[in-house]
Chains A and B, each alone.
Chain A
């Protein structure tokens, strides 16, 4: 490598390279392009353009609306928590089983429900036993 080349190589620093790259920006655009662009301005230009109604709002109006809606939801939830909902609870269902199960039919009594192990089964020929209703919870 000659001394001159060595100097040239040293010259290509990052800064000088950046300066040379920026010099490439020196390029002129044709005037006819500018004329074409100006000629292609949309028709609506020059006429009063009515903006959409939403654009005319105060910029904070939308945020205000969202905040207000959120506040209403929160207050509604607090109200429901405070005064309760009319949703039937599990306890209420278990208290009244009369609707959940068929009522006791005195005309139907199976040996299993007797819980007597078969030994005290009332023979059929003696007729059906008299059920003590107080034992059945009535």
Chain B
């Protein structure tokens, strides 16, 4: 786990959300089907999107999303409400991705595959999850710039800006101190701005 941030009193909205989440998890542990459905409907899109940006492969993203939820159901007893359920699911997803990356040695392959993917296939395949990204020129440029980041910087950008996790939650998912995540974030943003500026100049 990442280091704990300074304790701040939770807002009313956060407190209500946490209480609702506790109730849902309690129902899930009792084996209530509606609790399973609630969690799936609330989180599957975010987990899929996370995998889609990491793997750049719709099929693999679907497969890993299913594995993530299966692991979550198997380990729900170990969830202690120390973070949001969404953060916990992202943490499982992150580990799944790391395992998949290790076993298949995909990293280099993925980079090449993505470049090809973005340039050639996306704009022709409307069913592809990246179709909308590729359809917009600005988004496409930004995405290509993101691909030039280090994998950890890319991960921070995806978790914080695309998945909407806070910096503390990003640190929890990546199992790194918050300070390191902040530093990676600022470095990634700086590099993105440099890439995009260079592109405009050219």
Contact = CB atoms under 8 A, between A and B. Distances in A.
**Do A and B interact?**
yes
B132 A26 contact: yes
B142 A29 contact: no
Nearest to A13: B193
Nearest to B133: A24
A37 B65 contact: yes
A16 to B, nearest CB: 10
Given A14-B189, A20-B139, A27 B37 contact: no
- Secondary structure at the B interface, as helix, strand, loop or mixed, is helix
A120 interface: no
Interface residues of A, number: 35
A49 B30 CA distance: 5
Given A37-B44, A40-B69, A28 B129 contact: yes
Given A25-B162, A27-B49, A37-B44, A51 B29 contact: yes
Interface residues of B, number: 42
B197 A33 contact: no
Contacts of B142: 20-21, 24
B179 interface: no
Nearest to B202: A5
Given A12-B200, A24-B133, A24-B139, A41 B36 contact: yes
Contacts of B30: 48-49, 51
Contacts of A87: none
B97 interface: no
Contact of A18 (B37, B138, B161, B201): B161
A42 B73 contact: yes
- Secondary structure at the A interface, as helix, strand, loop or mixed, is loop
Contact of A27 (B29, B133, B192): B133
Given A45-B36, A51-B30, A36 B62 contact: yes
A102 to B, nearest CB: 68
Contact of A38 (B40, B58, B130, B192): B40
B26 to A, nearest CB: 10
B171 to A, nearest CB: 18
Given A8-B200, A9-B201, A37-B69, A23 B139 contact: yes
5 contacts: A29-B45, A30-B48, A42-B73, A48-B31, A49-B29
Given A29-B44, A40-B66, A49-B30, 8 more contacts: A9-B200, A14-B189, A22-B162, A29-B48, A33-B65, A45-B36, A48-B31, A51-B29
